[in-house]
Amino acid sequence: MFHSSVAAGFCKGVYQKNKLFAIEEIRTKYPGYTEVLLHADLLKKKSKMRKKKHKPVVDLRRCQLEKLARKLNGKDLNEQDYQIICCRIVLLRNAHNLRLPIPLTVTLKKHTLVYSFNWRARETVVKSFVDLANSQGMTHELLGLRYKKMTGYYSF
C-alpha cells in the first residue's frame, strides 16, 4: 500500500468532490486504502501560530500615543494623572485624524518662532531638530537653514 503526502492530497481532493463514493474512487488508484486512512488524511493539522505583522510606528504623534497608552495600562495612576494622560491622548488623536502639522515653538535669545513639521514627520526627525535647537550658540538663522534642509521650506 502506497501512502504519502501526495496520496493524502489526492484523497482530500477526491473526498471534496464526491464524499459519498470517495473510498471507491481512491481504491481504484490505491488498493487497500481504508476509511481509517481517509479520516487520518482529512484531519487538519495544527498550523503554527504566526505573529501578526505590524507596520512600525515612526511618526511623532503615533509614537507619543503608544507611549501614553503604555503609561495608561502600565501602572496605577491617581485621578489627576489619569485625566492628564486621557486629555493628551484625545488632543493627539484629533490632531492626527485632522492631519494637522506638528508645531514646534523655539525661543532663542528672547525671540520666538514656530517651526511646523508635516503630520507624518518621523519622531527621530523632530527629536533631532529639538536637540539642534537646544545646542549651544544656535540662532534662528542657522536653525532656519537646517529646517529648510529637513523640510524643504521655511516657517517664517
In a domain, 106, yes or no: yes
**pLDDT band per the 50, 70, 90 thresholds, residue 1:** very low
In a domain, 121, yes or no: yes
* 105 phi/psi in degrees, rounded to 5: -85, 125
109 and 91 within one domain? no
What does the pLDDT look like over 92-135, one tens digit per residue?
999 999 999 999 999 988 899 999 999 989 999 999 999 999 99
In a domain, 156, yes or no: no
69 and 37 within one domain? no
In a domain, 47, yes or no: no
What does the pLDDT look like over 102-114, one tens digit per residue?
999 999 888 999 9
Residues in CB range of 85: below 8 A, 6 or more apart: 68, 71, 72, 77
106 and 93 within one domain? no
66 and 92 within one domain? yes
38 and 10 within one domain? yes
111 and 87 within one domain? no
* Straight-line distance from the first to the last Cα atom of the chain, in angstroms, rounded to the nearest whole number: 83
Residue 94 confidence (pLDDT)? 94
Percent of the chain with pLDDT over 70: 94
Q: List alpha helices for the chain, DSSP H.
A: 5-17, 22-29, 35-42, 60-74, 79-97, 123-133, 140-151
124 and 107 within one domain? yes
Element (H, E) at 105: strand 102-108
In a domain, 78, yes or no: yes
Range of the domain at 30: 5-42
* 97 phi/psi in degrees, rounded to 5: -65, -35
In a domain, 134, yes or no: yes
Residue 76 confidence (pLDDT)? 80
141 and 106 within one domain? yes
146 and 110 within one domain? yes
Mean pLDDT for 41-51 is: 79
In a domain, 53, yes or no: no
107 and 138 within one domain? yes
Question: How many domains is the chain built from?
Answer: 3
In a domain, 49, yes or no: no
Q: Give the count of beta carbons closer than 10 Å to the beta carbon of residue 125.
A: 17
